[in-house]
Amino acid sequence: MQIVDLVIKNGTIVTSAGRFQAGIAIDEGRIAAIGKEVNLPKGDSVIDAKGKFILPGIIDAHVHFRDPGDTEKEDFATGTAAAAAGGVTTVLDMPNTRPPVLAISVLKDKIKSVQHKAHVDFGLYAGAGVRNLKELDALARGGVVAFKTFMPAGRANSASDDISLFRVFEKLASMNLPCSVHAESSDLIDYMKEKLLAEGRKDALAHAESRPNFVEEQSISKALIVAKVLGTRIHIAHLTTREGVRLIDLAKKAEQKISAETCPQYLLMTAEEMRHKGPYAKTNPPLRSADDVDELWKALRNGTIDILASDHAPHTKADKDLGFANIWEASSGMPGVETMLSLMLTKVNKGKLSLEVLARAMSESVSRIFGLYPRKGTIQVGSDADLSLIDLREKKTIRADDLHTKARDVTVYDGWKIKGAPIATIVRGRLVMWKGQILSPPGSGQFIARGANEIG
């Protein structure tokens, strides 16, 4: 009888369609068989998953690992270690590094510079703005999973005016790759901020008030209109408002090529958290109201929101601490790749959502949107053996000192109690994390190009 590299037995496999008792045989990095233990081949190694759940490997579609350029905040070694500790098997890294990924030469350099650091597999975004339209075809051929465009001004990949947005979407429409859109209007934000500054406002809540709901609503509406005219595939990053949910729902009913994500911070906290955490809770878009949170939960469960992502955006403590005296001085963003899955599993235990929704929103839909399916994001024969082994009974308290990210000191989740946690992270059949310990060396992760999705 054939002997394979690894057998996981006695577990409950979870997919978006349901759950079932079965084992998984893994050989040469791929899933070789799924079935009852008696029908599986023998394994050189065996994991007994009795009482545990096996999810398709979690894919975090929105991380900022700051590498290259700002590695005092994070680098690929610490970022991917944090991902592995959090049950994440693949990360998709944003392009706003230094230099930003706007040309094929920069993409190639970035792959070379981070490959030897990665504990888990990774894909890369490229930026898309009017400044680099001629580079987009080459970047697509280079295997980027998507493009990222900022509707706020000030970045090399910004498209803040109507003509710029039209030109970027026009180019991307012919390529049929998704464009992840940061949907906020810098003109409106600047106006609101000026009014608050004139009132002498420097407190934490002033940041949220400078970016009210209609700022996101107006930008999503504009993006949807332009994308509809041109046939561009767009993905709305970090959706935060009930108005945005309504627009996405209407666009989907009209069969527009649209997908959307939200993040744990927008499901678990409101703007009131800024009274307690100050600049540590400062993020763009900002935290919202309880009514917005309720609508986001409904949209996640019913599929209007396609995916969950962390928007892991680490900053140094010195940088964040500036905001206690003046919120405008602190950078926006918070770490989250390591805590995302456990926080959501806690909500599973409370009946707020199901494991099946998690399998869809954190694995299957992510891989489909970003061109990695069926190699990633699914449990089927021939797919990469990327698996997140879950213990829903695991109880612990999140401690900043235990986290792997360099931004551990500014996490808003320090002291939060969780129930449910990943106990094993398996990437292409390799046991990367076991009960909180990182087992794989840096460099064991691989760059995964969009379209490199063959199985078998």
pLDDT in tens, 145-193: 999 999 999 898 999 999 999 999 999 999 989 999 999 999 999 999 9
**Is the pLDDT score of 266 beyond 80?**
yes
pLDDT in tens, 294-338: 999 999 999 999 999 999 999 999 999 999 999 999 999 999 999
Residue 2's pLDDT is 84
Give residue 1's pLDDT. 54
Give, in order, the Cα–Cα distances in Å from 195 to each of 9, 184, 199: 61, 18, 7
Query: What count of other Cβ atoms lies within 10 Å of the Cβ of residue 404?
Result: 22
In DSSP terms, which residues pair with 125 in a beta bridge? 146
pLDDT 10s digits, 82-102: 999 999 999 999 999 999 999
Q: Phi/psi of residue 213, each to 5°?
A: -50, -40
Tokens (6 digits) for 300? 């996640």
CA distance linking residue 292 with residue 254, whole number of Å: 23
| Pairwise CA distance, residues 295 & 266, whole Å | 11
What residue segments make up the domains of the chain, in order of their start?
Answer: 3-54+385-438, 58-369
The answer to whether residues 171 and 179 touch, using CB atoms and an 8 Å cutoff, is no
| CA 434, chain centre distance (Å) | 22
> Quick one: what percent of the chain has pLDDT higher than 90?
97
Question: Is 3-54+385-438 a domain of CATH 3.40.50.12780?
Answer: no
Across 6-22, average pLDDT: 97
Q: What is the DSSP string of 94-131?
A: -S-SSS-S-SHHHHHHHHHHHHTT-SSEEEEEEE--GG
Tokens read off for 152: 């706020």
Query: Could you tell me if 86 and 396 are in contact, meaning their C-beta atoms sit under 8 angstroms apart?
Result: no
The predicted-structure confidence for 210-237, as pLDDT tens digits, reads as follows 999 999 999 999 999 999 999 999 999 9
Instruction: Give the class (CATH, top level) of 58-369.
Output: alpha beta
Task: pLDDT band for 368, please (50, 70, 90 cuts).
Answer: very high
Give the pLDDT confidence score for residue 176 in this predicted structure.
84
Average pLDDT, the chain: 97
Q: Does residue 413 surpass a pLDDT of 90? A: yes
Is pLDDT of 144 > 70? yes
Give the predicted TM-score (pTM) of the model.
0.97
The closest of 332, 314, 312, 313 to 322, measured between CA atoms, is 332
The pLDDT value given to residue 229: 97
20-52 pLDDT per residue, tens: 999 999 999 999 999 998 899 999 999 999 999
Question: What is the model's pLDDT at position 120?
Answer: 98
208-215 long-range Cβ contacts below 8 angstroms, 24+ apart? 208/271, 208/274, 208/286, 208/287, 208/288, 211/184, 211/284, 211/285, 211/286, 213/241, 213/242, 213/243, 213/288, 213/292, 214/188, 214/243, 215/184, 215/185, 215/188, 215/189, 215/285
